[in-house]
Amino acid sequence: MDSDSESEDLLLDDQGVFDDFTVASSWERLISDIEAACRKWQTGFAHGYLAVDAEVVDGHGKLRQVHCDLAHGSKGYRLDFYFDTDEQGGVTADEWKMERHHLQLWFGVQNFLVLAPLSMSGVILDAPEATLLLSGVSIALSNCGSIWPAFVPVHDPTRKAYKGIQGMRGPYCRSFEADRIGSQVPVKLMHLEGLYELFISKLAFSLPDSAPEYDGKIRSTVRLTYRTPMPGFEVVSMEDNLSPSVKPVENFDDDPASKVPWDDEYPWAQWYTVDDPIKGFELVATWSNRLVESSLDMAEFENVSTFEADKWLLAPVITQGLEGNLEMSQVSFASRMRNLLEAFFASTEAKFMEDFCTGDSPVMQKITSSTAVPPQSVLDRVLKSLLPEGATVLTMDDGNKQHEIARAIKGAPTNSLFAQFCLQALWFGNCNICAISVLWIEFVREVRWCWEEMQPLPRMLKEEENPSFDTCLVHQKLQLLAACIRRKAEEQQLHSTQIIKEGLINDNGSGESDNEQNSAADEQGREGSEQQEGSLILLKTREKMRIPRTQKPPIMTEDMLLEREHALVVLSDSPSGKMTRTRLQTSMLSSDMAAFKAANPSAVFEDFIRWHSPRDWLEEEVFQDSLESLSPSSSLTKFDNGLWPPRGKLSERMSHPDNIWVQLWNSVKPLPAHKQKPLFDHTREGEKVIHYLETLRPYQLLAQMICTSFASISDILYQTDIGKPKVLQVEIDQLFSTIVSILKPLRETNLSDKDVTENMEDWRTDIMELCLLLEKSEKHVIMAASFYQKLPDAHRLFSNLLSNYINLEKQRNLVQEVKLLHAVSASERVSIANLFPPVSLSLMQRRSLRMGNFLNGHEPVSREIIFSHFDHYSEGQRERYRMDGSNQWENILSHRMYIQGSANDLQVAYSVVSND
């Protein structure tokens, strides 16, 4: 015991520090550091908390990564541990799983280590150094009792070469090696027969002496990748991407003007065009677990139809940087809406739109953004598109069904005049406040010309005179002006016709007979009635009732109605106030009564009710049946005296003593409609509309433009013919609901300066977020249109691919990964094969120099094969090498080779079990 204490004292220096001479050299210290890191990761991995602080490996599903920095001499290294958090993602699962790391795919491993130098190339160029590092890692893992495989990158980076080693439980270890030919591949290795012989040569060379004799049975799995033709584009490396992407080829000799844009038939093409986001597709066909007994089997496999593959997978080839195309470019509705929003914020600086058209005004000096205005030629073209000369464009109702909550946005209908103005303004220059002001002033000037010359306004329906209160006020005013123009034209035409008739009467007046004069006098007594006689009979005289000509009802916009209601509220309860209120409320009714009395001088109040409000006259069934039995030609004398006058009465509300209708009837004098004071002065109201448009406050105009633009753009996206997949329909519904919610303050008819000043910053934040949502929806609709155009007969596949894409966008920053790839069903294979048009005859003649496995004459752009061989050990062999009795030694994967090849590239990764 004392001797042990003395020995320990000898190991302490003067400062009392213990020196461990087992890690004296840098190589030993490297092994110690690797062992410490591996033990730490083993503990965390076993208890499940290692993934908490691990980095997500982009594009590789649930693969995670942790690392530590090491030193060996003067060089620095980085040790990375890759592990899969998917418990069902073992090496025996799906060998062709798309999100697998390339080392997992090449060597069939799941969790692994990579030791690489901290240098620019990240590879080891010295073979002895690679051997030394692998030996150190192997010793460290052996000390930890771990069987994780370890790899080191070697040679030139372009070769993608690796060396690796894995300890196994028993007398064996597995070694790994990968290398690549990046130039012209020998013709023999372009064909499956040559690749099979390459594996057989490796197998015969490296069979362990303890293994039984080679049984000649090799298992193989094959993955072929086909790519649709994409002229003018080249595929970007997709080693770490879930879906391939392309970029344009520089100096590509093609004439784009001769091609019709892919989105020419879609509704946004009127305003802008975008590059097709999907340039093509990659089809992946896989065969699994095929037994190969000779090279002849592999030679025959080159002629096997791709339709016989076990599985087809389809992946779109997306334009590189699609995610940034719409954000960075001004060619999108969302980007233009941001410009319109900035114009709205600047509009509070002035009271009139003209203030933004003078360069030296104080208002213009406060504006720091762009104030560029397009030239006059562009302005003339836009105005001609909005207000074409000599034509009335009736396209406001194009037959398309609006979204169910679109009207709640309170904009203008998409094809209406004001909506088209808003859309044109988005693309007029860069949609700054100055450009919008110039366009608006000229637009109002053209509208005034239409009013003065009685030219119908385009994009206004003739049959809809009453303004719709669920639209913005500017649209209502334009509806009102369109109605004024029509009434003004009708009045002028009626006046011209009346002058012509009076002239004819004067010319023929001297020759009139007494009968004609009596007839004219009779017509004068029934002035203001229609030519046709009604089917009703007057109660007192038994004369047929004549239908009077009445004034057209007044047309009111929402602000006019609110003003009228306010006037009724503020009137006092004095006799004069009550009289004024009654006159305002009953002006239309009084006009109808006066016209009815003029057309039917002998009528009573009950006759007026029977014509004007039939529901307030209650007929008895006996008279009603007798009246219905009469034909139009029946004589009035057929009525029995007992049935006349008809047994009927006024309704309860009309027979009330204080009913205002009776009072009006008794006070109204007979007067035909054309002699009455007009209920609606179309000339005055038309001028008021023009005045409103000319003096509209800038922020009020811009607020209505924002609502209308959002409504129109959303409707354009909604009306896109893409089959309405559910995932996109949900997104469009959410867009409409968000627009209705966020734009609620801007929909107020009487938006005041105080509202704008107090809430502008809050509106800016909310509407900017709305622009982001519009941007996503716009991008997804464009992507859906491209999918739908290319997969019209595979609706299920189209919907699934689109859903994967949208989910990938939503979960981009989340841990869970989504792959943009989907399985093709057997019924869809024919339509997918049609994406590959037959190749030309000249290309078919070079078939002997190509790889085989053609699909409509197209060879695969990449062919991947995994050869594997399993060894079986007898009971005596297990005892000789002291193997345990587990079943893992009954069927061990002793040789595995992964090959990825094309005509100009060949990647080979080989693993072998040995007892060296």
Task: Provide the residue range defining the domain that includes 104.
Answer: 9-167
Instruction: Give the pLDDT of residue 880.
Output: 43
Give the closest residue to 57 by CA, choosing from 68, 69, 47, 66. 66
Backbone angles phi, psi at 589, to 5 degrees: -65, -40
Kindly state whether residues 152 and 288 are assigned to the same domain.
no
Instruction: Give the pLDDT of residue 330.
Output: 67
Task: Return all residues near 20 (Cβ < 8 A) that are at least 6 apart.
Answer: none
Kindly state whether residues 742 and 666 are assigned to the same domain.
no
Strands 822-824 and 311-319: antiparallel
Measured torsion, CA atoms of residues 409, 414, 419, 423, in degrees rounded to the nearest 10:
110
At which of 679, 711, 735 does a domain end?
679
CA distances from 698 to 42, 355, 435, 756 (A): 68, 10, 13, 12
Total tally of structural domains belonging to the chain: 4
Kindly state whether residues 248 and 309 are assigned to the same domain.
yes
* Total length of the chain: 916
Instruction: Give the pLDDT of residue 657.
Output: 76
Domain contains 331? no
Domain contains 795? no
Kindly state whether residues 304 and 362 are assigned to the same domain.
no
Q: How far is CA 378 from the centre of its chain?
A: 30
Kindly state whether residues 672 and 689 are assigned to the same domain.
no
For Cα atoms 658, 664, 667, give the angle at the middle one, nearest 5 degrees.
Answer: 120
Kindly state whether residues 374 and 298 are assigned to the same domain.
no
At which of 790, 822, 842 does a domain end?
790
| Chain segment 281-331, per-residue pLDDT in tens | 999 999 988 888 888 888 889 889 999 999 999 999 887 554 445 444 568
Kindly state whether residues 273 and 374 are assigned to the same domain.
no
> Would you state the structure tokens that stand for residue 572, as one six-digit string?
């006092």
**Residue 747 near residue 470 (C-beta atoms within 8 A):** no
> Would you state the structure tokens that stand for residue 789, as one six-digit string?
């155009």
DSSP state of 261: P
pTM: 0.78
Instruction: Give the pLDDT of residue 286.
Output: 94
**Residue 740 near residue 408 (C-beta atoms within 8 A):** yes
Domain contains 546? no
Domain contains 456? yes
Kindly state whether residues 869 and 752 are assigned to the same domain.
no
Question: What is the phi-psi region of residue 882: left when phi exceeds 0, alpha when psi lies from -120 to 50, beta otherwise?
Answer: left
**Residue 119 near residue 155 (C-beta atoms within 8 A):** no
> Would you state the structure tokens that stand for residue 587, as one six-digit string?
């002006």
Task: Return all residues near 794 (Cβ < 8 A) that are at least 6 apart.
Answer: 824, 828, 831, 832
Domain contains 314? yes
Kindly state whether residues 309 and 367 are assigned to the same domain.
no
Show the low-confidence residues of the chain (pLDDT under 50).
Answer: 1-18, 21, 89, 92, 210-212, 239-242, 257, 322-324, 326-328, 510-511, 513-525, 622-642, 813-818, 848, 874-886, 889
Domain contains 688? yes
> Would you state the structure tokens that stand for residue 518, as one six-digit string?
């009596």
Domain contains 173? no
Kindly state whether residues 693 and 674 are assigned to the same domain.
no
Amino acid in the structure at residue 214: Y
Instruction: Give the pLDDT of residue 370.
Output: 77
Kindly state whether residues 160 and 256 are assigned to the same domain.
no
Kindly state whether residues 310 and 397 are assigned to the same domain.
no
CA–CA separation, 807 and 802 (whole Å): 9
Domain contains 302? yes
- Grouping H, G, I as helix, E, B as strand and the rest as coil, residue 429 is coil
At which of 757, 790, 823 does a domain end?
790
Within 10 angstroms of residue 513's Cβ, the number of other Cβ atoms is 8
